[in-house]
Structure 1
Amino acid sequence: MRLIFGLLVSSVLLSSCQESAKKVQSFSTGEKTSQSISEMPDQAAPNTHHVKVKEILQTSSYTYLFVTENSEEFWIAVRKLDAKIGDDVYYQQALPMKDFKSKELDRVFENVLFIQGNTSTPPTANETKKIPAKKMPPKVDKKIAGIQVNATTGGISIAELFKNKDQYAGQKVKVSGQVVKINNGIMGKNWIHIQDGTADADNYDLTLTTQDKANMGDIISIEGTVYLNKDFGAGYSYDLIIEEAIVK
């Protein structure tokens, strides 16, 4: 009887020890798994483009690169960069532009991608979270009081332009106004907002892009081409904008 009881106790103790060993092993394995995950290197960021530089054109603010990706060849534009033939460029964010003219190069690019956040090494998923999206020039959301600028000879007012925008679409126009906002060097252009004191309903602010420069508060006359429903991507579009403007 004592022998049987002893065997039962030994069996229970052995089973308990084995169960404890399993728990220790399980905990140890879990700890190792947790440690290995935390020590894993950052994963490569998704949707990353990798291009090779074949040709380089420099301007004062931008570097234009003719690149290859797989079997495709195309132009991209990045902020001024000391690039060399054969360099690797990685990017995720790009804004396509058609028939873009570089005044400095005196050249029209049929298609060019303006790149944001380009790197020379593959970006990781963690790194791309830190890259802020570059904002497009914000629109002026209020009419500035006290502005009164008359149209020059052969020119039209901002109210007239918006009121008959379909008539002026694709045409060159002359408009005068006071500079109320400036954003220079975005996508290779300077973005200027002018007001002349006139308005068609809520349309009192005219946005134009140019290679020329102006100062806040300047009274300027511009001549450029009217574009309607121009979409620059990133959720930013204009019902009416003047492009390729010459500031006088």
Structure 2
Amino acid sequence: MRNIIQILVVLALLTSCKKQNQEYAPVKTNQPVTHHVKVKEVKQTGDYTYLQVEEGNRNYWMAINSTDLKPGDDFSYSNAVLMTNFESKDLNRVFDEIYFADTGAQQDQSSNSETKKSRLSKEEQENISVEKAKGGITIAELYENKENYKGKTVLVKGKIVKINDQIMDKNWVHLKDGTSFDGKSDLTFTTQESLTVGDVVTMTGKVTLDKDFGAGYIYPLIVEEASSVKE
């Protein structure tokens, strides 16, 4: 378990911008008690999901690997590292305190979420390698040059690693192609199409930055009104 916590700390540091002379202090390295929290706000940042949660009379921020949780959901976790003065490059925000939780966080059975959770396993995702579509771009190229693609239509080929059906009348499709930039390798599309996890597809849609869907759904980068195309 100690190794898991150490890995979480390293990942957190690698995916964020460190200020000069700033130290990130892991105040707590283990929380043996299971914590039951309610999600108040969600901010998606590629491979990670930032959550503002409520536990009893306390509200605080935490981060876990990309998840389907939404405001109003309940979930539990047992292991987390508390980071102080943590700067998220993706969110352009410094958190006075934020917990990085073990990826074993599980949604409670009592949750009011009806979201279907269908995804590839972590091992399957690690072995993804998809050739770039003709005339298209890779996921890494999009993240690296996101300002250049803002408002433009892009063509991206990848494997579907996760689908969240019918949230706010949209299907939310997550693609990976084996490339990454600054720790971001998961690209989210919204579409009306019914697709299947594990399929390799070529998707086209419009790039939107800093999209706030309301109800706590905020995406620094997302591809909207997408559809699949045949090469």
TM-score by length of 1: 0.44
Q: Identify which of structures 1 and 2 has the higher relative contact order when contacts are C-alpha pairs closer than 8 Å and 6+ apart.
A: 2
Higher helix share: 1
